[in-house]
Chain A
Amino acid sequence: MFFKVAAFEFRYQLRQPIFWIGAFIFALLSFGLMASSNIQIGSTDNIHKNSPFAIGRATLVFAEFYMFVVAAFVANVIVRDDETGFGGIVRATRMRKFDYLYGRFLGAFAVAAIGFLAVPFGLWLGSIAFWVDPETMGPFVARDYLYAYFVLGLPVIFLTASLFFALTTVTRSMMWTYVGVVGLFIGGQILGVVLTRPGMEHIAALWEPFGAGAFGAATRYWTASERNTLVPPITGDLLWNKVIWMSAAVALLALAHGLFRFQAGTVSKRARKAAALAVAAAPAEAFASVGPRAAPAKPVFNAAATWTQLIARTRLDAGQVFRSPAYFVLLGLAAAASVGNLWFATEVSTYGGRVFPVSRIMMQAVSGLFPFFSLIIAIYYAGELVWREKERKTQEIIDAAPVPDWMFVAPKTLAIALVLFSTFVVGILVAIAMQASRGFFDFRIDEYVLWWLIPQTIDAVLIAALAILVQTLSPNKFAGWAIMVVYLISTLVLGNLGFEDNLYQYSGGPAVPLSDMNAQGHYWIAAYWFRLYWSAFALVLLVLAYGLWRRGTETGLRPRLRQLPRRLSGLAGVIMGLALVVFAGSGAFIFYNTHVLNPYRTALGDEKWTADYEKKFLRYETLPQPKIAHVTLDLQIWPHQTRVVAHGAYVIQNRTNAPIGVLHVRFMRDVIVGALKIDGAHLQTEYPDFNYRIYAFDKPMQPGETRTLSFASTFQQLGFRNSGNVVRIMDNGTFINDQELSPQIGMDRRLLLVDRTKRRKYGLTPELRLPVLGTPGADQFEGLRRDSDWVKADITVTTDADQIPIAPGYKVSEAVANGRRTARFVTDSPVLNFFSAQSARYAVSTVNYKGVAISVYYDPQHPWNVARIQRAMIASLDYYQANFSPYQFHQVRVLEFPAPDGSFAQSFTNTIPWSEGIFFIADNSDPDRVDMVTYVGAHELGHQWWAHQVIGADEQGEAMLSETMAQYSAGQVMKHMYGPYMMRRFLKFELDSYLRNRGGSVLPEQPLDRVETQDYVYYRKGSLAMYRLQDQIGEDAVDRALRHLLHDFAFKGPPYPTSVDLIKDLRQEAPADKQQLITDLLQKITLYDVKADHAVAKKRPDGRYDLTFTVDAKKIYADGLGHETPAPMNETLDVGAFDVDPGGSGFNASKVIAVQRVAIHSGVQTVTLTVTRPPKFAGVDPFSELIDRDAAATITKVAGP
């Protein structure tokens, strides 16, 4: 009986459309993931797309999405008997509950499992598609697909099937089950995000039900080669995760069995209620006559009546949505899920820094989920409302009533618009609640309404209009929904395939970058032109929906098409005509802006342009060219016209040993060159598409000779673009750098394509690398620009009179005339050829410290961290001047710039632009958090030494001299301000970030001295390496070495220093027994694996305690791809005894019982300490200075008295 039931269920479910549709969609998605170079989940460039890691990750993601299909199968098992009414017949048979429930479950589960085979099938098929780049694929290994399906995917399907089975058993309703599905899905996403924080890996591994946490934890620190070949063994946390959750699934099934009642649950309740009502409403006698019949009211058909009809229908339709439990649940889910986003929105970096919950950030946070939910609501309820009358069987009564034909589409559209509006209002309320809960009451309701509520509602209603038309045309509700899902997927795919024009992407439009400084600027204009365009189109769609509306019982499409002309004659046709006129008119205006006034660009098109640029010009990069010695710039900024006009001149000098015959002059792509004149040179070749010009000298430029180059250029945007509107020039908050307007001399390899797959696609050499460390001749060029050494500059900036212009240099004059303000900045000491110009309505705060004016130029809305920035500058100046060299300027200026322009801070000569998005709005109220403001400030000021005094040569390791040294400097400032216990927290973040990013890197990893673009090495590992070094050889020794480097190279032209010079200076200051350490930290990729164990404390007769524990130490060298070899270890590390776990919270000086530095060698050794109080924890490296993948294992609990 059991197997017969299962077999019947299996055959039945196999025939359901949901099976074939689900399998098709998932096969398509898997295929697309594998075969399209533009869609990625979790695989980066140097692991194969069909590596076991990538297959595993894709399978996990798809298994989570597949739960929507699984629910359809298993819920159907329970509810179809009740819904079809066949249940009574089935229940009257002899079938036992066990056979009935589990037999059906087995059949449905088997079908779901078979349907999921679409995923490995699609993945495999995609991997052999003839157009995929074979270098992105590894060999076909069946084990990988089997592992992913059976170990990763199938348990998820089993768990979700059991869960939804139990859920449907309790609720007996498909709708409530789907509410549960959405809830579980969102919950899974939130859980996934929460559990990625460092320290949660173990919890995630066990308790994340879909196994993604376990998979992630097992592969967290794997390198590329491991990810390409290995699958995580089914042991440890991964095994326990499966055991736990499979047991939970079985328990859920048992629960279903216990809860299931053979008689229909709610149906009988409803019947009982109806019976009770019938009794109440049935009087003893016949219809009571209520006296003589009053004169019956005759209907009146006028405008007032029609208006009342519209309101009544809209209210009914909207009420149907508002009162449906599904709506509340969807809304509740959106709100609950957004709480997570909102909470973490203020955690802006991986260091645990926090910012104030300004409304702009809150809006971004709710924009994660509310628009998505609004899409679901729009599509779902469009289907529900369009088919409402037919499904409820009220359509005959309603359709026969004397309402005009348009009284169906219009109220439903209005109702959905109301619903969507209210959804977004709820989003705002949730955001405001979060702000209030943090004690932040500057709500800016006007911003919420203008920047978010209105645009989001309009965009959602556009989708609803499309959905309404689709539902009007489609033969049933589910087909209509399926079509809308296909539409949604297509919008994702089309964008990736290079179809980006918002003129054909329905409801598309350019993004509006938001900023407290600049509000919406003028960007809303473009967005609303597109909204007008698409709204007109949506109106046409709605009129069509009205024209084709099913009224009465005639549902075929052809008869409705026949009635279309009749329906469209009259006002409807006029409206449609007008809408088409607006559509065409606005479309023409948009086209003019996005294709005529501005070039139409797509991401793929830009890639190709860059590839062509390289093919044409890279060969010239070794051509000897003169260098720039002096820069004069006159920048006219028109902030409200998005225009900057530059006039400038270079003094160029031939610093080679041979005459130079040609001059290559390059401008950025969109710069309009008004004039270009070079002393004694004429234009030889011009490449207008690439803004590249080759000039020939009439008489070659002799070694040592100088010439003048003068130019005029304009950078502007007219009108608006399809996407990528210029954000460098804003109404308030302009921030441009000189390279965006002024020419470069000669060719270099900056800004070319980096991605290996893309390079192969265009037939370029696989990699563009920095010159190898020590390449002869490479040290003739500094790392920032090949066409300059140290220069002097004279920069004049003019902007509107109500704004402050700033450029690097000392301000020598300022004047206001004709509504324009002009300021001139001069530097006469050597500086890098790297200039910015900013203009905004700033408030200024200046503090004078030992002859240096520290000024912060900030937006008056963001005063919170100004004093902290100044304090950071003061502390940094103190340390750097005392330990490195005197600061070369008399001013430090920090300038705020708008968030859309970037989330970074940058160091120009004595000028530090700093984004409003990072830490200008920092919230430092929690003293346990890392002080990000000080960290960034100290780092950027550090660059005034490490870049603006000493700049590395253009070869490998250059970033070590600038970024790593800035990290070191900032680390020292922080250490002196906050102590080693705060530093431990900081270093822990650095360690985790470094280790995580190793596996996902584009290029193989390099050691610090040869680092190229691996930012996780020169920032994160740099911090760790330098901190350990200064702890081991002493801060003074490191600083002496740096002083020496500065003495040798500051402000001097070529040859520029390399990492070789820095390491030589460090070796000189380090004792003999630390030379190997320098090699390990700076010239190799070194990992440690140190474990403390078997800690026992015994009380001594004198009241102290003898603590012994073992330390098992390993040192490992790795190569760029992660292949590891062991190495002998002979170092000194801190060992100690503590009251609390140093890795936990609350670790500070008072919790340290004893700490001392001892020699540790590879292998196992015993450490003995004598301590004054009973130790709870003991171990090695309590300050987390080692690069150890299992840092927690360095500390162990003490067994003892």
Chain B
Amino acid sequence: MPSLVIDKLTHVYPNDVRALDAVSLNIPNGLYGLLGPNGAGKSTLMRTIATLQAPTSGSIRFDDIDVIAEPQKLRRTLGYLPQDFGVYPRVSAYDMLDHMAVLKGVAAPKARRETVEYLLNQTNLWSVRKKALASFSGGMRQRFGIAQALIGDPSLIIVDEPTAGLDPEERLRFLNLLAEIGENVVVILSTHIVEDVADLCPRMAIIAGGRIVREGGPLDLIAELKGRIWTKSIARDELEACRANHQVISTRLFAGRTVVHILSDADPGEGFAAATGGLEDVYFSTLSAQRQAA
């Protein structure tokens, strides 16, 4: 049973910005969601695990591999889909996937060909395999990205913001693909889209300001908020007063009026109704608490 243990991982940039502040996580196999706003340190964490960056202090262990000391060992069983990646010009999808297969150690011609063909089919890029990668649309490029990440049957897969920029259909397809990945694999899904985590991940953590501020299974975390989320539809000019009196965790427009969610242990009255909390409420409430603490 593989697992990833992160212990007090800290990364301080030369300009004294603390991108990661004593992050400790214990990630079992299966899909693990990492949720957080932009600039929270998600990508820094992903890159550090993916051996692309060395932390200032702390350790990462994947089973018996000390990732910081022996990154090459982890790379042999790693699949990484970066947040923002480009492609070589004038190279076809087939050739690039073939190239990545070689780089990942699937060099024997027969095995390589089978892997490449399988993955192209699985990501539905078979019909365009001879076309230049540079001419792909965003969604197709993401599919290629996950295809190369899956080469060589890795035990640790990191996907960083994979559905940003995909249309709803593509997003759905992508998530389905992730869901098919086997059980003996650690998959870390880093995103700021709450639904992705809610739909897929049995365990998650919320990271903000370089720190882990919440951790657990989504259902458990939602259960913690039971009976504490209240909602009301108000006029826009009432919002100021509402903020002053209550802990507003989110506002939304619906049918021309503002719908607020507030956090309150007791019934606040004033026309607030109890709301069934969702993961979004967990997320917003966590962030708002963290901001108040800061």
Contact = CB atoms under 8 A, between A and B. Distances in A.
Interface string B45-65: 001001111100000000000
Given A290-B122, A397-B85, A309 B102 contact: yes
Contacts of B136: 274, 277-278, 281
Contact of B104 (A313, A388, A402): A402
B105 A305 contact: yes
A287 interface: yes
Contacts of A312: 99, 102-103
Interface string B256-283: 0000000000000000000000000000
A396 interface: yes
A934 B264 CA distance: 113
B124 interface: yes
Given A297-B152, A308-B107, A309-B103, A400 B51 contact: yes
B124 A288 contact: yes
A760 B128 CA distance: 76
A392 interface: yes
A392 B86 contact: yes
B197 to A, nearest CB: 20
Given A400-B52, A552-B53, A554-B54, A394 B88 contact: yes
Contact of A401 (B91, B104, B114, B139): B104
Contact of A397 (B82, B102, B115, B153): B82
Interface stretch (B24-32, B169-177, B216-224, B247-255): B169-177
A270 B106 CA distance: 33
Contacts of B50: 396, 400
B140 interface: yes
Contacts of A270: 135
B153 A399 contact: no
Contacts of A319: 90-91
Nearest to B140: A281
Given A278-B139, A554-B53, A294 B107 contact: no
A297 B114 contact: yes
B87 interface: yes
Contacts of A776: none
Contacts of B168: none
Interface in A274-323: 274-275, 277-278, 280-283, 286-288, 290, 293-294, 296-301, 304-305, 308-309, 312-313, 316, 319-320, 323
Interface stretch (B71-79, B206-214, B231-239, B284-292): B71-79
A393 interface: yes
Interface string B132-153: 0001110110000100100011
Interface string A377-404: 0000000000010001110111111111
A1100 interface: no
* Size class of the B contact interface (CB-based, 8 Å): 35 or more
Nearest to A316: B99
Contacts of B125: 281
Nearest to A563: B54
B88 to A, nearest CB: 6
B135 A286 contact: no
Contact of A281 (B72, B87, B124): B124
A404 B152 contact: no
A556 interface: yes
B171 to A, nearest CB: 11
A297 B103 contact: no
Contacts of B127: 280-281
B173 A299 contact: no
Given A277-B131, A278-B139, A554-B54, A401 B88 contact: no
Nearest to A405: B72
Contact of A394 (B52, B53, B87, B128): B87
A743 B6 CA distance: 88
Given A323-B90, A397-B148, A308 B102 contact: yes
Interface string A48-81: 0000000000000000000000000000000000
Contact of A300 (B47, B87, B105): B105
A273 B88 contact: no
B100 interface: yes
A559 B52 CA distance: 13
A558 to B, nearest CB: 9
Contacts of A399: 51-52
A97 to B, nearest CB: 30
A312 B100 CA distance: 9
Contacts of A556: 14
Nearest to B105: A299
Interface in B118-132: 118, 121-125, 127-128, 131
Given A298-B152, A299-B152, A396-B82, A553 B53 contact: yes
A273 B135 contact: yes
Contacts of A392: 86-89
Interface string A395-437: 0111111111000000000000000000000000000000000
A404 B131 CA distance: 30
Identify which of A294, A397, A553 gathers the most chain B CB atoms within 10 Å of its CB: A397
A553 B46 CA distance: 12
B272 to A, nearest CB: 41
B186 to A, nearest CB: 15
B103 A403 contact: yes
Nearest to B46: A396
Among B52, B84, B105, B135, chain A packs the most CB atoms within 10 A around the CB of B105
B107 A309 contact: yes
A191 B125 CA distance: 52
A890 to B, nearest CB: 75
A551 B47 CA distance: 12
B133 to A, nearest CB: 10
Contacts of B88: 316, 320, 388, 392, 394
Contacts of B102: 305, 308-309, 312
B179 to A, nearest CB: 11
Contact of B137 (A275, A305, A316, A320): A275
B84 A397 contact: no
B54 A559 contact: yes
B124 A283 contact: yes
B52 A553 contact: yes
A296 B108 CA distance: 13
A554 B47 CA distance: 10
B76 A402 contact: yes
A280 B122 contact: no
A131 to B, nearest CB: 45
A393 B76 contact: no
Nearest to A391: B86
A293 B100 CA distance: 20
Given A278-B139, A297-B115, A393-B86, A287 B52 contact: no
Nearest to B154: A299
Contact of A396 (B85, B105, B140, B173): B85
Nearest to A294: B118
Given A281-B128, A400-B80, A288 B173 contact: no
A286 B84 contact: no
23 contacts: A274-B136, A277-B131, A281-B125, A281-B136, A286-B176, A287-B122, A287-B123, A290-B122, A296-B152, A297-B115, A297-B153, A298-B106, A299-B104, A299-B106, A305-B102, A392-B86, A392-B87, A394-B87, A396-B82, A397-B85, A402-B103, A552-B54, A553-B47
Given A282-B169, A305-B102, 18 more contacts: A275-B137, A277-B136, A288-B121, A290-B121, A290-B122, A297-B152, A298-B152, A299-B105, A300-B105, A300-B106, A304-B107, A305-B108, A312-B102, A313-B103, A320-B88, A392-B86, A400-B51, A554-B53
Interface of B: 14, 47, 50-54, 72, 75-76, 78, 80, 82, 84-91, 99-100, 102-108, 111-112, 114-115, 118, 121-125, 127-128, 131, 135-137, 139-140, 145, 148, 152-153, 169, 172-173, 176-177
Interface of A: 270, 273-275, 277-278, 280-283, 286-288, 290, 293-294, 296-301, 304-305, 308-309, 312-313, 316, 319-320, 323, 388, 392-394, 396-404, 551-554, 556, 559
